[in-house]
Amino acid sequence: MPYIDKTDVEILAYRRYKANENYSKSVWYLAELCVTINSNIKNADQIRPLESDSVVLLLKDKVNGEVLSPTEEAIKELAETIYHEGPEKSKLHFHIAEKTLLLEEIKKVIEENTLAYD
C-alpha cells in the first residue's frame, strides 16, 4: 500500500490555493483524478472524491504498462456530482492534492511492474 504523507498533501493543496484556480475547474480536475484512479484499480469507485481514507491499491489486470485514461463523459458525470455536493474550495484543494499524489503512486507501481516484466 502506498504511503502518502499528510504534509505532502498539505503543501500541494496550499500551492493549488495560491494558484487561485476557479471553483469549476477545481471540481473538474478532482473528478478527472478520481475517475482516472478508479479506472486503474480493482473494485472501481473505491476512491471517492470527497473522502480521505486508506486504500489498498490492487491494479486491474487490464492495466498494461500505462495508466488507463477515462472518458470525458465519465469525468463530466463525476464533476457534476461533486459540484452539486458543493464542497468548500479548500476541501477541493486538499482532495485534489491527495488524489494527485495517489495517482503518482499508481503510475510508479505500473512502471515498476512493467520494468520487472520487460
The model's pLDDT over 24-59, given as tens digits with 9 standing for 90+, comes to 999 998 889 888 888 877 766 667 776 664 433 455
pLDDT at 115 over 60: no
Q: Which of 43, 25, 35 is nearest to 83 (CA)?
A: 25
pLDDT at 114 over 80: no
Proportion of the chain above pLDDT 90, given as a percent:
28
Q: Between 77 and 64, where is the model more confident?
A: 77
pLDDT at 2 over 60: no
Residue 41 pLDDT: 75
Q: What radius of gyration, in Å, describes the C-alpha atoms of the chain?
A: 14
pLDDT at 16 over 60: yes
Residue 62 pLDDT: 62
User: With the CA atoms of 58, 82, 51 and 38 taken in that order, what torsion angle do they form, in degrees rounded to the nearest 10?
Assistant: 0
